[in-house]
Structure 1
Amino acid sequence: MRIPHNERVSSDIADAGPERTCILSGAAEPRDALVRLAISPDGLVLPDALARAPGRGAWIGISREALEKAVAKGKLKGALARAFKGAALTIPDDLAQRTEAALIRAFTDRLGLELKSGRLLTGSDRIAEHARMGKVAWLAHAADAGEDGSRKLDQAWRVGEDAEGTGMAGVTLPLDRTALSVALGRDNVVHLALTDSQAAQRLAVPLQRLLRFLGQGEKTGQNNGKGSADRAGPALDDDMIEGRDG
């Protein structure tokens, strides 16, 4: 089944399921848009990129930069203390770095699973062939992909989706070709495509979380020319951090 070009393949739609509240911004949003912090039995705060770890947890919907500020200023510690009623907690100084690494791993692991299943395509010629036949549900390019190659594949995708003139284009990933090649165990992975809409939906959740944490909104890969899905929620600036301390 193909996804019409004017529909997003992400879980950030109106009926996106249960909501969670960011302990720092106070915004309630779909859980798939937020990042869970797991609290270990001994009180260590760690990223839970798949939101599956047992035990206590808390949710954040902010960028890495904002998280770094919240950790440095003690705002995250205060928010967690209020959420867990003063329980002893230890927040590592490199929590933001650990969170980014965990989100990247969750995304690349998902890519690897789709590759093993045969639903993930690599190679420009192969992707272009499937795209023109309308057999691509999701298209992406490495951060360092050449503009000309990306543009040609975007055009082939639009042709296959009968979406010429819409500006629909693949998502530019926050990973370069080296990182993608290492993650997938392939040489020179520059462009990626999924042939299955359900696979695209599965990938949308970890990608959405990663892009948002990196301050790139929720561009999960179906830009239809009418503005990408860049609804990152309220940014947590210094005023908001200060305003929630008390």
Structure 2
Amino acid sequence: MSDPQRRCIATGQILEKGALLRFAVSPDGRLVHDVGMNLPGRGMWVSCDVEAVELAIKKRLFAKAAKQAVDVPADLVTEIERSLTRQCLALLGLGRKGGQVTVGFAKVEKALKSGKAALLVAASDGAADGRQKLKRIAGPLPEIDIFSGAELSQALGRENVIHASLANGALKRKILAAVSRLSQFRGRSGLNTEVSE
């Protein structure tokens, strides 16, 4: 089943909601990035990339779409990237609490070999040899490599997290979708294989 579609106010393209960012206007007239896509009020949709957001700001398209004066934060682009990053890391944290995340080289290696891992997570600043060894074992499994060891450690409530894996299930799909949006916004791929669900 495909996502409902919305029109980007900056490019005019009609895209699935998953490829767009949703914005709402707070009661005090401030523009808010609705990362969870669930804030009340009429949503405004912009393609999930920096250029589209900057175009919407430059041409005052948020105010036009909202049909009212809108206070656009000066650091909106940074704020969007931060909230998308927080969303990804919060989902990983949820996986840890639900017992779906395995942490540590030896445990991840074991999870991969036993077929219990469906997604590999590697710290962007981790040593290349360890990452490559696990990637070889993982084969075609998707790998997320856009978070630092410090970010992963904080999200997973452990020290020095470099390697982690996630079991299969709905949470894996949510994490892949969230990482894909963040990577798209940053203009790079954060997944080392195509995401096909």
| TM-score (ref. length: structure 1) | 0.73
Contact 2:145 2:191 in 1 (8 A): no
1:37 to 11, 19, 23: 23
1:56: which partner in 2?
A: 42
Contact 1:64 1:100 in 2 (8 A): no
1:124: which partner in 2?
A: 105
Contact 1:181 1:188 in 2 (8 A): yes
Identity %: 33
Q: What letter is aligned with 1:141?
A: A
Say if 2:133 is the partner of 1:152: yes
Say if 2:60 is the partner of 1:81: no
Contact 2:19 2:48 in 1 (8 A): no
1:136: which partner in 2?
A: 117
- 5+ residue gaps, structure 2: none
**Pairwise CA distance, 1:41:** 1.9
Counterpart-to-counterpart distance in 2, 1:28 and 1:190: 39
Q: What letter is aligned with 2:49?
A: S
Question: Tell me, what secondary structure is at the counterpart of 2:29?
Answer: coil
Q: Kindly report which structure 2 residues correspond to 1:1-246, keeping only aligned pairs within 5 A, or say none.
A: 15-64=1-50, 67-68=53-54, 70-71=56-57, 74-75=58-59, 77=60, 79-85=61-67, 87-158=68-139, 168=140, 170-217=142-189, 219-220=190-191, 223=193, 228=194
Contact 1:40 1:56 in 2 (8 A): no
Contact 1:33 1:208 in 2 (8 A): no
Q: What letter is aligned with 2:132?
A: R
**Pairwise CA distance, 1:66:** 5.0
Q: What letter is aligned with 1:33?
A: A
Deviates more, 1:38-47 or 1:56-65: 56-65
The C-alpha deviation readout for 1:39-84, integer Å capped at 9, x for no partner, is: 112221011111111122211114235534653xx22x2x223322
| TM-score (ref. length: structure 2) | 0.89
Counterpart-to-counterpart distance in 2, 1:116 and 1:203: 15
Number of residue equivalences: 195
Counterpart-to-counterpart distance in 2, 1:148 and 1:169: 18
Q: What letter is aligned with 2:6?
A: R
Q: What letter is aligned with 1:52?
A: N
Question: Tell me, what secondary structure is at the counterpart of 1:186?
Answer: coil
Question: Tell me, what secondary structure is at the counterpart of 1:20?
Answer: strand
Counterpart-to-counterpart distance in 2, 1:83 and 1:64: 19
